[in-house]
Amino acid sequence: MSRPSFPSRGFSLVELAVVLFIVGVLMLGLMTTLSSQAEQRNFEETRRRLEQARELVLAFAIVNGRLPCPATAASAGDESPAGGNCTTAFAGWLPARTIGFQQTDTAGYAIDSWGNRIRYAVSVATPYNTQTPRVCRPVSAATAPVTPHFTSRDNLKANGIDCQPNDLLICKSANPPTAAPAFAGAAITATTCGGASNQIVTTSLVVAVIFSTGKNGAFATCATCVDEAANLDGNATFVFHPPASRDAANGEFDDQFVWISVGEFYGKLIAAGILP
């Protein structure tokens, strides 16, 4: 006796819609997870590159007895001027070719994991030789002919460790207004980050700053990103704090920073027999 036949039944439109919806939700969750993991890897890789750059700058200082000058838009990844003795350094790039940094773009400039060029600033404080012990002051119209201390091997050996930087400031935010120290007469005008409570690193401690502008790179697309804007405005005052979203008080912020303290810098040169 033959078995009875039953009519085949497919999925209804409603059931298909439910299945597609579930698959879509699962795919969205997977893509979000993968995207978050990729961003975390980029963040960590950029941090690794900044730390590597920091070590290469210190290694350069041990070999050459001075800090390198920044690269410029025309120097293709080399320090400018070649041989050091730079007098303006607050808007440069990491001198990748000079220090041997490997991750570069086609023009020879150091880049972070998003392909943005890594920035670098070095103190251009210059010895004030009429005082004992010799102290440093920021370069100004009155002091421009004097060779900066930290990018000159000869000045470092002549002036020793009495000369302290006083032109690089690292602040918690760009509000209240910030300003770099200024030379006035025979004294330093000790400007802070709009107040000591807004200052991360005290004045006279930082000789070099290395930083990435993060994934967003061009802060100019965000009119309210005042903290990021402060890092690219051409002066010696910088802002660093944890990442912030576009709706934060001072706008989006994803810059990453490392810096070299004057104590570590002098300590490396002393240990290498270059100083005192």
Q: Which residue has the tokens 């002919």?
A: 145
User: What pLDDT tens digit does each residue of the chain (276 aa) get?
Assistant: 555 555 555 567 777 777 777 877 777 766 666 666 777 888 899 999 999 999 999 999 999 999 999 999 889 899 998 888 887 656 689 999 999 999 999 999 999 999 999 999 998 877 665 555 555 665 554 545 467 889 989 888 887 887 788 778 888 888 765 555 544 433 444 456 777 788 887 666 889 999 998 888 765 556 778 888 888 877 788 889 988 888 888 888 889 999 999 999 999 999 989 888
Helix (H) or strand (E) holding 34: helix 13-64
Quote the CA–CA distance of 125 and 164 in Å, as a whole number.
Answer: 8
Which tokens belong to 192? 């802070």
pTM for the full predicted model: 0.79
For the stretch 91-120, what's the b/e string if a residue is b when 16 or more beta carbons lie within 10 angstroms of its beta carbon? bbbbbbbbbebebbeeebbbbbbbebbbbb
Quote the CA–CA distance of 165 and 32 in Å, as a whole number.
Answer: 45
Q: Beginning with the edge strand found earlier in the chain, give each strand of the sheet holding 199-201 in spatial order.
A: 199-201, 169-171, 237-239
Q: Where are the domains of the chain?
A: 13-271
Give CA separation, 162 vs 29, 51, 133, 165, 263, in Å.
58, 27, 6, 10, 11
Give CA separation, 45 vs 52, 240, 252, in Å.
10, 19, 21
Q: Check residue 212 and give left, alpha or beta (phi > 0: left; psi -120 to 50: alpha).
A: beta
| pLDDT at residue 178 in the model | 54
